[in-house]
Structure 1
Amino acid sequence: MFLSFVSSLVVHAVGFLYPAYASFKALQLEVGSERALEEQTRWLVYWVVYGLVSAATYLTDTFLFWLPFYDFGKILLCLYLVLPQTQGALVLFHLYFQPKLRQYEPTIDDA
């Protein structure tokens, strides 16, 4: 139970607080600069991926909470998504989420 509480704190700090501040910093960059465009795109992609992963996590928590190291895995996933060394959010977006979102975009838009 305690590990779950600590895990939740870490996931929220890594998944929300740091990206929110980094997004703020990206918005403060010179408008129209190449660096601003790269950083703003990076963080916008992050928020899309994080939103989709959070929705999936909401469902998986119900069934997988009992697995050993599940909470640790969630922390690692958040780090993978956030860290610039891994660029996990960009990787997942371009490999999985973008193709599926494009495929179902008309259906989603019509809903």
Structure 2
Amino acid sequence: MLSVEEALKMVDDLIATLPPFVQGLLVKAETATKVQKNKLVAGVLAVMGLYMIFGYFAAFICNVVGFVLPAYWSMAAIETSDKTDDTKWLTYWVVFAAFSVIDFFADGIFTYFPFYWLVKLIFLAWCFAPISENGSHKIYHRVLRPYFLKKQATIDKALQRASEAVGASLKAD
């Protein structure tokens, strides 16, 4: 089981990946409250967890966290000369897209699984976690990539036929 110290260390690691202006706000909050910023963030995360179970805007918050933060980090990665961070974020977006398709068809799950938005939020955070083998890396390499490589030729042919059909219908008009 995860100890409090280990959990706070994970929160520190998360804080280190936040944009500088957010880190600055956390330092100000730490100074004003005299509570360590990792404990402030842990408290906010706990309240958010409860809200994600019982709150009205849980779906919106989940989608903002799963989209806005990774979009920011993706844009920052594009601006670096290092291509490994680009690959990391492309991998996240492939997994995010695959999950979004599955999510679309999972509407009925909300009735039976009240913790859905909290679990989805945790899942997406695991997918973009600042660790080398985060959720996106594992899902891409263990599930999506093998399937893609197996089906790529078939998918390419279907896309080519569809492209030709669309092109032909546009020329006919």
TM-score by length of 1: 0.84
The answer on whether the counterparts of 1:4 and 1:71 sit within 8 Å (CA) in structure 2 is no
Separation of aligned partners in 2, 1:57 and 1:4: 19
Corresponding position: 1:99 with 2:99: no
SS in structure 1 at match of 2:68: helix
Q: Deviations over 1:61-107 (max 9, x none)?
A: x2211112112111111111111136110111001110011111111
Take 2:118 and 2:139, find their aligned partners in 1: how far apart are those partners? 20
What's the TM-score, normalizing by structure 2? 0.56
Aligned match of 1:22: 73
Q: How many residues align?
A: 104
Give the C-alpha shift of residue 57 in structure 1: 0.7
What is the aligned counterpart of 2:89 among 43, 46, 56? Answer: 43
Which runs of 5 or more structure 1 residues have no equivalent in the other structure? 31-35
Aligned mates of 2:127, 2:75 — CA distance in 1: 18
Aligned to 2:109: 64
- Equivalents in 1 of 2:144, 2:102: separation in Å? 12
Task: Find the counterpart in structure 2 of residue 13 from structure 1.
Answer: 64
Amino acid at match of 1:6: F
1:33 alignment partner in structure 2: none
Which letter does structure 1 place at the counterpart of 2:125?
L
The counterpart of 1:84, out of the listed 124, 130, 151, is 130
RMSD: 1.7
Structure 2 gap ranges (5+): 1-52, 159-173
Pick the structure with greater CA Rg. 2
Q: Deviations over 1:27-78 (max 9, x none)?
A: 1112xxxxx1110000011111100011001111x22111121121111111
CA distance in 1, matches of 2:150, 2:115: 34
Q: Which ranges of 4 or more aligned residues in structure 1 deviate by more than 3 Å?
A: 2-5
Partner SS state of residue 105, structure 2: helix
**Distance of aligned partners of 1:29 and 1:101 in 2 relative to their CA distance in 1, 3 Å threshold:** same
